[in-house]
Amino acid sequence: MGLSTALSTGLSTGLDTESEELVIRLDDVSKTYQHGSVPVRALSHVDLEIARGEYTAIMGPSGSGKSTLLHVLGLLDAGYEGRYELLGEPVSGRTAEELSALRNRQIGFIFQTFHLLPHLSILENAELPALYAGNRPARECRAAARARLEQMGLGSRLNHKPQEISIGQRQRAAIARALVNDPPLLLADEPTGALDSKTVAEILDILGELHSNGTTILLITHDRDVSEATERTVHVRDGQMHDGRLSDEPRAPLRETRRP
């Protein structure tokens, strides 16, 4: 079975693609860092809505605020002003332990540099989020990781360590790890930034297939070609952005590009 077929006929994402439920809602979110005695506004009154099943790119230059936005959306930074709802539930004001548990259940992360532990096999890497969740036996965690890796075309590489496989295979292993808990949201931080053009196309094909199967994906990038693989692009600069709502009138100061 080819990779595309495996993705199309493989494991369910557990998502109702007909649902109009919002996965992400930010209302008037701001984030300020203290640089010595000087306050630096990284995000400024950001509004954003991401509906279930959307495939959205957040695009902006270095220093625009997109990495700070990713940290907020990924529940990695709670020190912001405003309101954040994930799947309709407010997350602002929760404890670090609560955020960690919520992040593990609801969000899968894909990173530019993979973040695979070098001393573990890719099978052991992929099962870690499931083991951390603690809601199923270890053998089921292992089976879920195996199934996701096979879905990524890595069934013959399960016992290989990250340094023993290609860069593209490492990113596919990282995607399998991100999917092992069947999260309703994937956050991809420059997932193609370390890849050659052929491998970029392969990873974008995988993300496109996941989106076609109902996965909600938010992709951070500075690459216009990568953003054009998504169905919607939200532009961010100087910590400001279009609110991302579906409207006929784009609002200043930035634009949102939507593709049919």
Positions of the chain with pLDDT under 50: 1, 8-9, 11-19, 243-257
pLDDT at 7: 56
Cα-based distances in Å from 238 to 43, 66, 152, 245, 253: 7, 9, 37, 20, 10
Residue 2 has a pLDDT of: 52
Taking only the tens place, the pLDDT of each residue in 217-239 is 999 998 888 999 999 999 988 88
- pLDDT in the model for residue 31: 94
Superfamily of domain 3-7+54-79+96-258: P-loop containing nucleotide triphosphate hydrolases (3.40.50.300)
User: Which of 85, 83, 75 shows the shortest CA–CA distance to 105?
Assistant: 75
Task: Indicate the burial class of 159 (C-beta count within 10 angstroms; 0-12, 13-18, 19 or more).
Answer: exposed
pLDDT of residue 66: 87
- Backbone φ and ψ for 81, nearest 5 degrees, come out as -100, 150
Task: Tell me the residue type at 184.
Answer: P
46's tokens? 């950001």
**pLDDT for res 249:** 36
Query: Closest Cα partner for 216 from 116, 115, 106?
Result: 106
> pLDDT for 72-116, tens place per residue?
999 999 899 999 999 999 998 899 999 999 999 999 999 999 999
The helix (H) or strand (E) run that includes residue 229 is none
Predicted local confidence at residue 205, as pLDDT: 94
Q: What is the Cα–Cα distance from 76 to 80, expressed in whole angstroms?
A: 11
* CA dist., res. 260 & res. 250, Å (int): 16
